[in-house]
């Protein structure tokens, strides 16, 4: 995602701790307390500008959602959407997914969404892909037994790589679509990237995989 310089982003984020959790290490193991209920918690890693996570939270009030995004200048747009919808079941985290085990207790999360993750096409950058095995082991730790990863992308190379990575890790394939927008899948909420690339005629790939107990 293209970076824009938004010098005001850091202060704006700090001014809204009810939406962007400012002390995430202290939240570890306490996310149900933070949401004030025992509903399942779903996270989106690389949430970008937040259209998916705010849409999901608006449609499913018995699920808690956390959007995780590395870049301040990008998450600030998700924050503006979160302020607008003002939902009790939506939080944001401005952190690197490499450190998720510092912010979530083992088994605290029920589902991970990965949407249009950066493809990092060069083989020497494979470790940075959010479906690389080190990330899968992080998701495995923070997910409940039998937790799932739901993944969408327009990038055929990343999709094929990820299906192989999931399979080599021992994840079970539950669902796959090679053309989501022309499939029978219902209730799809589009991300900003999904709108852009499907608008250009790109096909959208989607999979659901599950960690076996």
Residues tagged active-site: 118
- Which member of 116, 139, 161, 205 binds ligand SAM (CB under 6 A)? 116
CB-wise, 201 or 213, nearer to ligand SAM?
201
Q: Is 98 an interacting residue with respect to ligand SAM (CB under 6 A)?
A: yes
Q: Cβ distance 21 to 75 under 8 Å?
A: no
Q: How far is the CB of 30 from ligand SAM (least distance, A)?
A: 21
- Which member of 56, 68, 112, 171 binds ligand SAM (CB under 6 A)? 68
Q: DSSP secondary structure string, 77-130?
A: HHHHHHHHH--TTEEEE-S-GGGHHHHS-TT-EEEEEEES-----SGGGGGGST
Beta strands (DSSP E) in 126-167 are 143-153
Q: How far is the CB of 36 from ligand SAM (least distance, A)?
A: 26
> Hey, what's the torsion of the CAs at 135, 138, 139, 140, to 10 degrees?
120
**Per-residue mark of binding to ligand SAM, 26-55 (x: CB under 6 A):** -------------------xxxx-------
Residues flagged as binding site for S-adenosyl-L-methionine? 44, 69, 96, 118
């Amino acid at each position: 995602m293209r970076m824009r310089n938004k010098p005001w982003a850091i202060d704006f984020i700090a001014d809204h701790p009810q939406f962007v959790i400012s002390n995430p290490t202290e939240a570890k193991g306490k996310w149900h307390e933070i949401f004030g209920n025992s509903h399942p918690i779903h996270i989106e890693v690389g949430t970008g500008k937040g259209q998916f996570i705010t849409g999901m939270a608006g449609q499913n009030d018995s699920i808690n959602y956390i959007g995780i995004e590395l870049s301040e200048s990008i998450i600030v747009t998700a924050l503006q959407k979160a302020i607008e919808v003002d939902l009790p079941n939506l939080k944001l985290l401005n952190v690197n997914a490499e450190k998720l085990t510092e912010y979530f207790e083992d088994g605290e999360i029920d589902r991970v969404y990965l949407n249009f993750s950066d493809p990092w096409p060069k083989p020497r950058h494979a470790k940075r892909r959010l479906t690389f095995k080190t990330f899968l082991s992080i998701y495995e730790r923070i997910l409940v037994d039998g937790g799932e990863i739901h993944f969408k992308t327009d990038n055929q190379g990343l999709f094929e790589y990820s299906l192989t990575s999931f399979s080599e890790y021992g994840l079970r394939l539950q669902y796959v679509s090679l053309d989501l927008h022309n499939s029978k899948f219902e209730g799809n909420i589009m991300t900003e990237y999904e709108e852009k690339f499907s608008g250009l005629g790109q096909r959208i790939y989607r999979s659901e995989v599950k960690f076996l107990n």
